[in-house]
Structure formats: C-alpha cells, structure tokens
Amino acid sequence: MIYYIIVFIIAAAIAGRVYRKAYGHVPEWKYFKPYSVTWWAAAVPGVIGILISGEPLHGWAELTTTLSQATGGADPSLLIYGSLGGIGLTGRSDE
C-alpha cells in the first residue's frame, strides 16, 4: 500500500512539472492541492484515521497499533473529521 502512495506522489510531482512547463503555472484544484504543504498537513490525519478505523477490513494490526500510538490514541473519527475540516478550509482560501 505504501508503494502506491509513493508512486502517486511521484506521479503528481512529475505531472505538475510537465503542466508548469506547458502552461507556466502549477495546476490547482479547489479541494485537491497536492503541491500545498498545508493540504498535506490536513489530509494525512484523515488517511491515518481511515487506516486505523479500517483495521478489521485490511488486518494490518501492527500498522494500526503504531499509528494509534503515534496519534496519542486519538479517536479515528476525530482524525477524519479534523482532516475534512482542514481540507475544506484550504479549499475556501481560493475565494
């Protein structure tokens, strides 16, 4: 799974460079901003919350235990809702 995430990030970076070379600026979408550190800071807790809450489906007990300890035992729903709020705020900054 982590390999897919790394490949996605590399592909997004390459696509951004190609787009910038063709149009002179980096592509921007309202709620998906892979070139923004603020967006990543808002999205990562949501991904962690989804992984923790989805443990019965994927069975990665060691990973979810580690992630739960890294977040200080935060409730996965709070991580997901906080992430959605952060992504909503980064989308609002365009207006």
User: What average pLDDT does range 24-30 have in this prediction?
Assistant: 79
pLDDT at 69: 93
Q: Is 27 in contact with 12 (CB distance < 8 Å)?
A: no
Range of the domain at 14: 2-92
Q: How many domains are contained in the chain?
A: 1
Local structure of residue 34 (DSSP, 8 states): T
List, for residues 47-69, the tens digit of each pLDDT value: 999 999 998 888 889 989 999 99
Q: Residue 79's pLDDT band (boundaries 50, 70, 90)?
A: very high
Question: According to DSSP H, which parts of the chain are helical?
Answer: 2-23, 37-53, 55-58, 61-70, 76-92
pTM for this one? 0.72
